[in-house]
Amino acid sequence: MDVKKSKATVALMMMFMMLFLVNFPGCFSAASQQPNNKKSTHLKPHNGFHSSFLFPVTGNVYPLGYYSISLSIGNPPKVFEFDIDTGSDLTWVQCDAPCTGCTKPIDHLYKPQKHILVSCEHPSCGVVHFPESPHCEKPDDQCDFEIDYVDHGSVLGVVVADVFSLRFMNGSLIHLPLTFGCAYDLKNPGPYDPQAAGVLGLSNGKASILSQLRSFDLTRNVLGHCLSGKGGGFLFLGDDLVPSGMSWMPVSANSKHYLSSPAEVFFDGKPTGIKDLKVVFDSGSSYTYFGYQVYEGVLTLVRKGLTKKPLDTVQDKALPICWKGTKPFKSVHDVKNYFSTLTLKFKDTQNIQLELQPEAYLIVTEDGNACFGILNGTEAGLGDLNVIGDISLIGKMVVYDNEKQRIGWISADCNRLPNSLDSNYKEDIQQPYAANFGILEENHPKTQGSGESNVRVRNREL
């Protein structure tokens, strides 16, 4: 065993725990205290797990492009907005190191301190770079990361560990150190300037915030979201809000993304000839993406179904394929009767299917046109990968059960928070907030020697 490495790792862990205990004495005991009997939020812990976490969500598919939640980091706590992304692993926030390409004012950036840096030899750094290993000139080098998105955006930064303040649904507040990315070099050539401070990685990778909470034995490795077509919704971590009677589909155990079983595609209840379609469920993607052949096949059927309908094609800056009516549409409800339902029936399951009614693949733009919210994934850089994005998840409670490697969904009212939530949380959740960072995390973080961009990471020391 490398003695130097072992000592450095233990010392770093002890430093975090001392910082944690000195600044937040009794925080774990607070989490286990009996809540006030007047509150209606107490939920019985599951097998020693304290409870679940519930967060109001803001945002929409159009015109903003994503959904976000607020999280508090640091001591004293500072609030940041995060894009919720089940297609990414590492959580990251824009930080003043200083920052290149950050979209937030300097006083709204996360300010890292040297003592919270994760070293290159620390196990957390290995988790971030998995399945590769971080390459370090010296064991105590800072742990750097790089993430590339398929919309050609990228994020460079350093891995840190700082205190998050989180409130259980039973009302108890905890403060604990979690590992995340301090991003100081952002590139995003997309049409929108991102307004959120960062991305909350919720894939089933071990670097995700949920996996870290599970390692503390604080909650189950289960998450769910309910996104409203009116904007807003809610996100939960833990299994207290999982509905009974939900149908489940297994997801691939060999992918950190939520990859489905093969599916056959039906349109208007009839087979399309498209079979063995695998999809990734990705809340970080505003729209749904199919590979070229599937996309062209589905689009042809949609166009054929519009024959003799009072719709004409029109150019709209929002999306590539759009139609106009005899007068501008006010909402999808004005146009949905002209379109048919698209259904994915998954194999190796008990009749599990995902119905995409017109509301799940159409938007109405500010010009009153109806646009097709299923896009050409090959053209977008996804190759043959198929992605189910936010537009197709609206109006459904979608649950990702990493304990049993499965995913389920059920129709739900996402316009209001669950009734069990304390009044302290009952704020307006229908106000949209931000724009889109990217479609899907493309690769694992790069290591030293991966190219010029990684050299730039090494040149920025905190």
Catalytic site residues? Answer: 85, 282
Residue 254, burial from CB neighbour count under 10 angstroms (0-12, 13-18, 19+): exposed
Closest to 229 in 3D by CA, of 270, 286, 177, 176: 286
Contact predicate 392/360, CB 8 Å: yes
Q: What is the dihedral of CA 135, 138, 140, 142, to 10 degrees?
A: -50
Contact predicate 436/103, CB 8 Å: no
CA dist 21 and 26 (Å) reads: 8
What are the residues whose beta carbons fall under 8 Å from the beta carbon of 231, sequence distance 6 or more?
Answer: 58, 59, 60, 430, 431, 432
The amino acid at residue 454 is: N
Closest to 318 in 3D by CA, of 66, 64, 60: 64
Contact predicate 267/95, CB 8 Å: no
**Measured CA angle at 116 (ends 453, 90), to 5 deg:** 50
CA dist 17 and 177 (Å) reads: 8
Residue 217, burial from CB neighbour count under 10 angstroms (0-12, 13-18, 19+): exposed
Token output for 364? 């109405």
- Mapped onto helix, strand or coil, the DSSP state of residue 343 is strand
